[in-house]
Each structure stands twice: as C-alpha cells, then as structure tokens.
Amino acid sequence: MTGPDHQWRRWGRRGGTATRWVATVMMLVAAVLLAGCGSGSSSQAESSTAGALQLPADFPRADVPLIEGALLSAGGSAGEGWNLTVQGSSTITAALDAGVKKLTDAGYREVQRSTDGGNQVVVLTSTRSSTTYTVEVGSVAGAAGGPNSVFYQVSRS
C-alpha cells in the first residue's frame, strides 16, 4: 500500500490515536539525550555533534525545506524515510511554527495538528515532480536540544 493513506495507517493515526507518534518522538528524544551523555556539558555535545552531522545523502533538500539551525541528529533513507532533529537558530522564537511556515510557504498543505501533554506534531503533505512527501514536524516539551528543537519525520510515496 502506498500514498498518504498508507502513512496514516503506518503511524497509527486513524481514529485519533496519537500515542504511537508520541512514543516515536520520545524515542527520538531519548536518542538525543543519550548522544549527549558523557560530554561534560550540553553545549559541548551539541556543538561537536552538530558539526559532525550532515543530512543523509539522498535527503530531498530541494523538496523539503527545514528551519535554519544546527542538525542534532539525522538518519534514514529514501526507502525507509528520514528522521531529523534540528535545533533552531537563536533568531527563531518558535521553532515548530517556523518549521510549519517554511513548509506551507513552499506549498505544503497541513493535514493534521495534535497536542498531547506539551508535545506537538503537525503533519503536512505536498506532491513534487510526481513524488508525494509527508512531513511530520514535532516538538517535545523538555527536549534535550532545548525548546527550539524540532523533529522531522519525512516519507515519500
């Protein structure tokens, strides 16, 4: 099964269930927290980690605009989808809103927005050159990257 409907079923969003997404975001937060362990200070972990990370080689940079800032984590592939964590630059006051605006300005359409205990997610979709992208942009209260961190889950069909 392909297409945006497949993504809804894959992540368990049918019927208003946001539990799987929140669990996924929490796992991403744990991964970022663990990546920073043992560095002595969070600013050292962020700067050394961010300087060493790059977007996956097959990430659709031209089709999926991201907020400006330090890349804290990046993974995935075209076949599996990509997951990223970006810490917004100091000029961004509301990273989630900035991420959503950047996507909608590029022609993405918002299809769902949910909040659960301070955790937020916005799902957007767009078709570019006969490829449909579904982008989940989220923020988690108390994220290791700070309040200006945004999590992206990107898939294509």
Apex 19 CA angle, 114 and 104, nearest 5 = 30
The per-residue pLDDT for 51 is 52
Cα–Cα nearest to 104, from 89, 124, 122 = 124
Helical axes 42-52 vs 19-36, angle rounded to 10° = 100
Tokens of 84: 């990223």
- Dihedral (CA of 117, 82, 49, 23) sign: positive
Q: What is the pLDDT of residue 142?
A: 77
Mean pLDDT per block of 10 residues along the chain (157 residues) reads 43 43 46 37 34 87 95 95 94 92 97 92 95 95 78 96
What's the rounded Cα separation, in Å, for the pair 27 and 115? Answer: 17
pLDDT of residue 52: 64
The pLDDT of residue 74 is 96
Distance between CA atoms of 95 and 30, rounded to whole angstroms? Answer: 20
* Domain positions in the chain: 4-156
Contact 95, 88 (CB under 8 A): yes
| Cα separation, 65 vs 49, whole angstroms | 21
Give CA torsion, residues 44, 47, 51, 54, to 10 deg. 110
Per residue, the 3-state secondary structure of 107-135, as one string, reads CCEEEEEEEECCEEEEEEEEEECCEEEEE
